[in-house]
Amino acid sequence: MNEERLARYLSINDFRHAARRRLPRAVFDFIDGGAEDELTLRDNRHAFERIRLMPRVLNDVSAPQIASDLLGTSVQAPLVVAPMGSCMLAWPQADIALARAAHAHGIIYTLSTMSTTSIERMARAVQGALWFQLYVLKDHDFNLQLIDRAQAHGYGALVVTVDLPAGGKREKDYRNGISIPLRPSWGLLRDGITHPAWAWQLLRGGLPQFENVAGYGGMADNGLPIAARVGQSLDDAFNWNKLARMRERWKGRLLVKGVEHPEDAQRLVAMGVDGIWISNHGGRQLDGAIATADALPLMAQAVPGTPLIIDSGVRRGVDVLKARALGASGVAVGRAALYGAAVAGEAGAYRALQILIDELKLSMKLAGAASLTELGPHWVVR
């Protein structure tokens, strides 16, 4: 898709609508959907929408400053692409497309354990800052191998996800029967016929595989939907002691993702974790979990000075401004970037991130903030 056509996409929602048209329903639902009644999925948005700003005036806002430092990495905007597994269902080599788009904007890309591109292949394909997200598998030797592989290939931070001791109950995925590897079925055949552009690209780009865990024996190919299958392979007995051992093994920065309780944040900081990633997995895990924008002020109060990354529900640049004002250092985006990649690969992801960055700068100007560092809770009414 050429630049002129992409420029017609004005919001993340435009990309979402186009992704819905381009992708078969099972793939769109997998990306877009949430657990059970999708209460948390919806509330993530509502929580950002409920926050109101008290703009300041007569500040020179001619050049809004958004460059930041995120756990020792200099970034051109306080944004991170969140780890996402199974992305190649949406676009060939989608992981690499997302990473390249992130790096073109000078921001960080996080590779998932369940990505469809391996740690090594990603490190060879891109130049910019990479973080690696670990799902703690039942086999701890395999976890250590993953950590060592990420360390050997220059990933700057390890992000341990702790909100998936079991796969969330995403009913759409059960109904649609989405799995990796894709298995032949009438539904898949119908999807291919009704979405020929998607099917052609999928066949040409190679069928998605979980490349990082290719050699992992514990990942039974049992035909379950993706979340359930991943959940079955993860260590639901993972606890504080095991995390402490992981802290010893990983020499770089360590973040823990999927934290929403202030007391957990305090305990994590006390044990030497470098940053807390406030997340409810985009409403894909515990339905009924608190919206992250509601949890953020409590977390900022509990662990002042600790780098906080927040995700779940970010769809506008102004959400980034709100998160910064409430104490986040950085904001991670999952679907917002993936809708872009699902529509037009790297160029689509680039445009989606551009929209967020442009909206952030515009909202800073309109709110009277010349720099992100000026923002604070006094900008916000809740």
Provide the minimum distance between the beta carbon of 230 and ligand FMN in the complex, in angstroms, as a whole number.
7
The whole-angstrom separation of Cα 57 and Cα 6 is: 34
Interactions with ligand FMN, residue window 337-356 (CB under 6 A): none
Alpha-carbon gap, residue 272 to 319, rounded angstroms: 29
User: Per the residue annotation, which of 103, 105, 195, 281 is the catalytic one?
Assistant: 281
Assess 289 for contact with ligand FMN (CB under 6 A).
no
The footprint of ligand FMN on this chain (CB under 6 A) covers a number of residues equal to: 21
Using CB under 6 A, which of 312, 351, 355, 364 touches ligand FMN?
A: 312
Please report which residue ranges of the chain form alpha helices under DSSP H.
3-6, 12-22, 25-32, 39-50, 94-104, 119-125, 140-152, 171-176, 186-194, 196-205, 226-233, 240-249, 262-270, 292-302, 317-325, 335-367
Phi, psi for residue 347 in degrees, rounded to 5: -65, -35
Does position 257 bind ligand FMN by CB under 6 A? yes
| 281 counts as catalytic | yes
Among 85, 225, 327, 348, binds ligand FMN (CB under 6 A): 85
Q: Could you say which of 83, 317, 327, 340 contacts ligand FMN (CB under 6 A)?
A: 83
Write the single-letter amino acid at 319.
D
- Cα separation, 124 vs 131, whole angstroms: 14
Q: State phi, psi for 152 to the nearest 5 degrees.
A: -65, -25
Binding residue for ligand FMN, selected from 264, 274, 294, 311, defined by CB under 6 A:
311
- Cβ atoms < 10 Å from Cβ of 163: 18
Virtual torsion, Cα 294, 271, 329, 100, nearest 10 deg: -110
Q: Is 121 in the site for ligand FMN (CB under 6 A)?
A: no
Q: In whole angstroms, how close is the CB of 79 to ligand FMN at the nearest point?
A: 11
Among 161, 176, 179, 329, binds ligand FMN (CB under 6 A): 161
Nearer CB in complex with ligand FMN: 61/131: 131
Name the residue with the smallest CB distance to ligand FMN.
334
Q: Strand 275-278 to strand 253-259: parallel, antiparallel, or no bridges (unpaired)?
A: parallel
Chain residues that interact with ligand FMN, rule: CB under 6 A: 31, 82-85, 112, 114, 133, 161, 257, 279, 281-282, 311-314, 333-336
List residues with catalytic annotation: 281
